[in-house]
Amino acid sequence: MDFTLSEDQKMYIDTVRKFVKQEITPSILGLEKEHAFPAAIIEKIWDLGFMNLSLPAEARGFEMDTVSSALIIKELSYGDSGISTSAMCNDLANVVITMHGTQKQKEMFLWPFIEKPLISSFCLTEPDAGSDNSAMKTFIKKDSNGRYILNGEKCFITNASYAKQFTIFCKVGKPDSLIVACLVIPSGTIEKSKILKSSSGAREIVLPEGGTILTGKPEEKLGQLLSNTATVKFEDVVIDDEQIIGNRRLGFHYALDVLDYARPMVAAIGVGLAKRAFDITVAYTKERRQFGKRICDLPVARDTIVKMWKKLEFADMALMKAAWKVQEGAPDRGVYASLAKNAAAEAALYCTSEGLHLHGGYGFMAEYEIAKLSRDAHIIDIYEGTREVQDMIIGREIL
C-alpha cells in the first residue's frame, strides 16, 4: 500500500477543493436555511465529472479507482455532507449494475447517467427491516401472464423525491421467502411515466408497463438538510426479466458487495465532515481570546484539539486502507470497510461535539457552521449500517 497520490489524484483533489470553496462554502448556511434540494450544485458536480464514480471503464473510457473515489467524496463532504450524500447515492444504487449486470443491462441502466445528470435511489431499508435487511417484505411474484409483479414499501430512501431510476432489493415469490433479488426500474421507464406531484413534494409515478411508484413527502430531518429522504412504495409494478440484475437468487450477496464498496464512501463523507469541523474549530480558537490568551493556547483546550486531530487522522488512515482493500478486491475488504465507517463516524461525532464545545456559547448559535456540522455528524454512525452492525461484522471476521 502506497500513500503517494498520483498526478490524477492531486488534480481531482485540487479541482473539488476549488469547487467547494467557490460553490458551497460561502453559501452553505443560506442553502441549509432554504432547505431546498441542491439540484443546481449536483448538476455542476456532474458537469465536472465527479458523479457516477463507479461507472465501468467502457462507459466513458476510464474507470475511477476506489481510492480516488474516496478522495473526491472526502473533499466534496468538506463542503457539505448532505450534498455529497445525494451525489454519491448514484453509486450506491448503480455499482451493483457495474458489478453484476449483463452488458445489455449496463447499456440500458448506466449509459443514461453519462448523457444527463440523472439521480437514482438505492432501496433496501424497510419500516420493519433496518439493521436486519433479511426481514424485508417487498417481493416480486409471477402473475397469471408469467410477468413479475412488485409490491412493498421502502423507507429512508435517499434521493427518493427526485430519483429517475430505482435499484430495489426484494424477496422472490412471497414476502417471507429466503430468496432475494435485485432489480432496476430504469430511467427510460420513469421518463415515459405519468408523474403527479403534490404540494407536499410526494410523487405518484404511473408506469407505462403497469403499476405505480409512490414517493412520500420528504422527511424532516435533524441534519443533512441538503439531502432528500423519503419513503418509496411499489404498487403492482410490472417487472420484466431483463430488469433483474444478474442471478435472481443472489440479490442478498449483491447487497453485501454494494455495502463493501459503499461503506468506505460513507467513511469518506465522515472524514470530510470531521476535517471541516476540525479546521473551523482551529480557526475559531486561534481568533478567540480568554484569560489574555488565544483559546488554542490554553493547555486544556489544546488537549482537546490534539484529540480531535488524532481521531481525524486515524479515521483518514482507516479510510485509505479500506478503499485500497476494496480496490484490490481483498478477501478481508468487508472488515476494513466496517472499521473505516466506524472510525469516521467516531471522528465526525467527536470533532463536531468537541468543536462546538470549543466555540463556547457561539457554537450553539445557528449562524455558526459548527452547529450544523454537529447535527449532520450523527447520520454517519447510522446509515449503511449502524455502529453496532459494523461491530457485528468485525466480530464475526476476527473471531
Ligand X SMILES: Cc1cc2nc3c(=O)[nH]c(=O)nc-3n(C[C@H](O)[C@H](O)[C@H](O)COP(=O)(O)OP(=O)(O)OC[C@H]3O[C@@H](n4cnc5c(N)ncnc54)[C@H](O)[C@@H]3O)c2cc1C
Which letter does DSSP use for residue 221 in this model? -
Count other C-beta atoms under 10 Å from residue 242's C-beta: 14
Give dist(CA 14, CA 72) in Å, integer: 10
User: Least distance in Å: CB of 288 to ligand X?
Assistant: 33
Site string for ligand X, 245-284 (x = CB under 6 A): ----------------------------------------
149 - beta bridge partners?
141, 238
User: Are the C-beta atoms of residues 208 and 189 closer than 8 Å to each other?
Assistant: yes
What CA–CA distance (Å, rounded) separates 283 from 381?
A: 26
Residue 383 sits in the site that holds ligand X (CB under 6 A): yes
Nearer to ligand X, 157 or 239 (CB): 157
Q: What angle do CA 72, 4, 11 make, to 5 degrees?
A: 40
Q: Is 367 an active-site residue?
A: no
| Binding pattern for the stretch 210-229 against ligand X, x by CB under 6 A and - elsewhere | -----------x-------x
Residue 131 lies near ligand X (rule: CB under 6 A): yes
Burial 222-231 (b: 16+ CB within 10 A, else e): ebbbbbbbbb
Helix axes 39-48 and 7-19, enclosed angle (nearest 10): 160
Residue nearest to ligand X (CB): 130
Q: Which three cell numbers stand for residue 1?
A: 500500500
Closest separation in Å from C-beta 224 to ligand X: 6
> Binding segment for ligand X among 124-132, 284-292, 311-319, 348-356 (CB under 6 A)?
124-132
* Closest C-alpha among 267, 222, 269, 272 to residue 375: 222
Sketch the per residue contact string, 142 through 161, with ligand X: x for CB under 6 A, - otherwise: --------------xxx---
Nearest approach in angstroms of CB 91 to ligand X is: 11
CB of 168 to ligand X, least distance (A): 9
Q: Exactly one of 32, 126, 354, 384 is catalytic; which is it?
A: 384
The footprint of ligand X (CB under 6 A) covers 89, 122-125, 130-131, 156-158, 221, 229, 379, 382-386, 388-389
Q: Active-site residues: which are they?
A: 384
